[in-house]
Amino acid sequence: MTSHQHFPKEFRRAVVERVNRSNGYGWCAYEDIEDFFSEIVDLENLPSADGRYENAAVDLHAHTVWNEDYEFESLLRDARFDPLLMTDPQFKKFVETGLRNDFQRRLLPPNEAGRLHDSSFEGDEGRPIADLIRPMFQSIGFDIVHRTEFGVGVGYQVVSAKVNASNQGRAHSANPAPLQYKGLQFRSKCEIDFFKDIYSAGFLVAPLPVFVHKPTRRRVEPDFVIVKFGIWAIIELDGKAWHNESPADASRRLEPFTDENVRIIRFTDGELASSEGRGRAVSEILRKFENWRMSR
């Protein structure tokens, strides 16, 4: 895994979980598990997890055809088939194979397509996978479009998309923020949850803005810049639950702001893990801003 991935790990996890959580069928609902993964990886050159078999091809056949004791979802946590560990081309193929499965299943008659035609479906369950994940791919400069052969629809493909230029969430061009909410980019679900709370509190909010610092020739991306009463401050969310960056590294990253005496407020993963914790954090921020206003 390199830092120059088109599909960062956090983005991949969000895509896979979006389908697993919201779609009634998942990624592999139309064809055999063995056939699914054979589209993505060379099964004959992957090791078997069962010592009785010579490679992953025989392993999968034995445990998904002869005996159905391998589940697709559990295989996604197997290092041989984990989408988070795939190369970019493999992950793209994984998504396209899942999209094709979903597309072809929807061509079946109602009595064969199963719960697709069940009136008990609610919410996202049963929606086409393409509709579920297209906004996610669009948020990082890709799109999901119909694929045709000889004028006939056969599935979907992931393609690069021309997107409107935006610095937001793109301080590191090789690692854009992978998540999207209300047309804005975020690097973690916690950032989205915190954005909702701080926005509801009446602050002017800029999530993941990009600043350029000439002395160090660096682009700096704080988690949030917030403004109220004509006062502005930076909010940083620290914690392994959503950032790989250590607090010390974050402090070095924010030196251009501390050198300019910009106010920085930090919170840890423990403080923001719950809605109650985020509520207390917002209240603390409001108190700080009130104190700063009174001291001017």
Check whether residue 71 and residue 16 sit in a common domain. yes
Check whether residue 143 and residue 28 sit in a common domain. yes
Check whether residue 150 and residue 41 sit in a common domain. yes
Q: Is residue 166 part of a domain?
A: no
Check whether residue 43 and residue 140 sit in a common domain. yes
Check whether residue 154 and residue 210 sit in a common domain. no
Domain around 142 = 9-160
Secondary structure, 3-state, the chain:
CCCCCCCCHHHHHHHHHHHHHHCCCCCCCCCCHHHHHHCCCCHHHCCCCCCCCCCHHHHHHHHHHHCCCCCHHHHCCCCCCCHHHCCHHHHHHHHHHHHHHHHHHCCCCHHHHHHHHCCCCCCCCCCCHHHHHHHHHHCCCEEEEEEEECCEEEEEEEEECCCCCCCCCCCCCCCCCCEEECCEEECCHHHHHHHHHHHHCCCEEEECCCEEECCCCEEECCCEEEEECCEEEEEEEECCCCCCCCHHHHHHHCHHHHCCCCEEEEEECCCCCCHHHHHHHHHHHHHHHHHHHHCC
pLDDT digits (tens, 9 = 90+) for 241-257: 556 667 677 778 889 99
Calculate the average pLDDT of the chain.
83
Domain at 275, CATH number: 3.40.1350.10
Q: What is the mean pLDDT of residues 145-172?
A: 74
Q: Is residue 2 part of a domain?
A: no
Residue 292 predicted with pLDDT over 50: yes
pTM for this one? Answer: 0.53
Residue 215 predicted with pLDDT over 60: yes
Check whether residue 21 and residue 151 sit in a common domain. yes
